[in-house]
Amino acid sequence: MTARTIILIVNGTAYERTIEPRLLLADFLRGDLGLTGTHVGCEHGVCGACTVLLDGDSVRSCLLFAVQLNGCAIETVEGLGTPARLSPLQEAFREHHALQCGFCTPGMLMTATDLLKKYPLATDDEIRAGLSGNLCRCTGYEHIVAAVRAARDAR
């Protein structure tokens, strides 16, 4: 299949790569760019672990082909903060113990970033509905909801 050369701006840095059309954005980020913070769970859009921001909107990176996104801006969990300098949302997750194994965390963080931008999240029900597309197998969600609630109050 005909390879294509694309330029993607990921976390503010432009990357030029030549890729196969069938390469999923998630695999492009992890394999071609080495940005392994974006996790791959189900590969059919159900678990939410691979959620990133595309031009500011949350999307499943397992349901997009990198080749589609020439010239687009992607933000991954690596763009949120660093271990030494967590973003306020990451700090809220740390403060409220909103992770155990951490596998779902990058997707939770990117989803919550978009939710906080677009919705009032006035009630816990609304927060839960917003997070319902992201699966966590450890925490039972209570602490994740608490972290998003705290981030909402600090917004």
Strands 4-10 and 73-75: what pairing? parallel
Convert residues 123-142 into a mask of x (bound to other proteins by CB under 8 A) and - (unbound): -----xxx-xxx--------
Are 91 and 154 contacting, i.e. CB atoms less than 8 angstroms apart? no
Single out the segment in contact with other proteins by CB under 8 A; choices: 84-92, 98-106, 108-116, 145-153: 108-116
For the segment 41-100, give every residue that binds other proteins (CB under 8 A): 43-45, 48, 51, 54, 57-60, 62-65, 67-68
- Does position 120 interact with other proteins (CB under 8 A)? The reply is no
Residues that bind other proteins (CB under 8 A): 1-2, 4, 20-22, 24, 27, 43-45, 48, 51, 54, 57-60, 62-65, 67-68, 111, 114-115, 118, 128-130, 132-134
